A and B are shown apart, each in its own frame.
Chain A
Amino acid sequence: GAGVSQSPRYKVAKRGQDVALRCDPISGHVSLFWYQQALGQGPEFLTYFQNEAQLDKSGLPSDRFFAERPEGSVSTLKIQRTQQEDSAVYLCASSLDIGGTEAFFGQGTRLTVV
């Protein structure tokens, strides 16, 4: 596709449910980032992949959060046993270069935990 695609666009989960959020980066992009954006705030870094390698996961808030990019393309962010504080927009970004000096963002997945 022409841009970064995220699915689903909206997800409502009951507290305690597991969710999986998908990111399709721009084809050939080496770098992939995940961010969490709470209402009224700036995006917060979660994790970074260089191809299939997860080089930085320092922003993942707890061990309930897990991300993977097994073939260096599509990435999935999984949240186990969702809690209300997980409600946010989850953004994915990809970049052609290592480190992502010019990152292209998807429109995000809005997760609401009820």
Chain B
Amino acid sequence: AQSVTQLDSHVSVSEGTPVLLRCNYSSSYSPSLFWYVQHPNKGLQLLLKYTSAATLVKGINGFEAEFKKSETSFHLTKPSAHMSDAAEYFCVVRNTGGFKTIFGAGTRLFVKA
């Protein structure tokens, strides 16, 4: 069975400081992992994906995530937050070769000026 746990429901950072959004997963098989962002009144947008290639994955808008199998984690980071990063972020897991996609509950990122 697959599951995703986003460890923080809310994260607040100051503009220009680093961002860390934490995600742990459980999967019976080799997983594919994703991060999506959802801005108000906009559709979900893919930030980055891990599909068994390089464990450090770079995405759009300066975000990156590292797949750590030993820790079953896929945390999302960004060196310097921007006001436009304020949004809801979802960590997602899918078993490789499968179709059922499991979303985490989401982490809302607040960015203070």
Contact = CB atoms under 8 A, between A and B. Distances in A.
Chain B binding surface SS class? loop
A21 B44 CA distance: 18
21 contacts: A3-B43, A4-B43, A33-B99, A41-B105, A42-B103, A42-B104, A42-B105, A43-B44, A43-B103, A45-B101, A45-B102, A45-B103, A50-B99, A56-B98, A56-B100, A93-B44, A100-B99, A101-B32, A104-B43, A105-B43, A105-B44
Contacts of A43: 44, 90, 103
Contacts of A103: 46
A90 interface: no
Q: Give the most central of B41, B42, B102: most A CB within 10 Å.
A: B102
Given A42-B90, A42-B105, A48 B99 contact: yes
Given A101-B49, A101-B51, A42 B106 contact: yes
Given A41-B105, A102-B49, A59 B100 contact: yes
Interface residues of A, number: 28
Contact of A106 (B43, B105, B106): B43
Interface string B28-68: 00001000100001111110010100000000000000000
Given A41-B105, A41-B106, A43-B90, A99 B99 contact: yes
Nearest to B105: A42
A4 B32 CA distance: 23
B35 to A, nearest CB: 12
Contacts of B41: 107
Interface in B58-97: 90, 94, 97
Nearest to B6: A42
Given A31-B99, A45-B101, A101-B32, 8 more contacts: A42-B104, A42-B105, A45-B100, A48-B99, A50-B99, A58-B100, A99-B98, A105-B44
A107 to B, nearest CB: 5
Contacts of B99: 31, 33, 48, 50, 55-56, 99-100
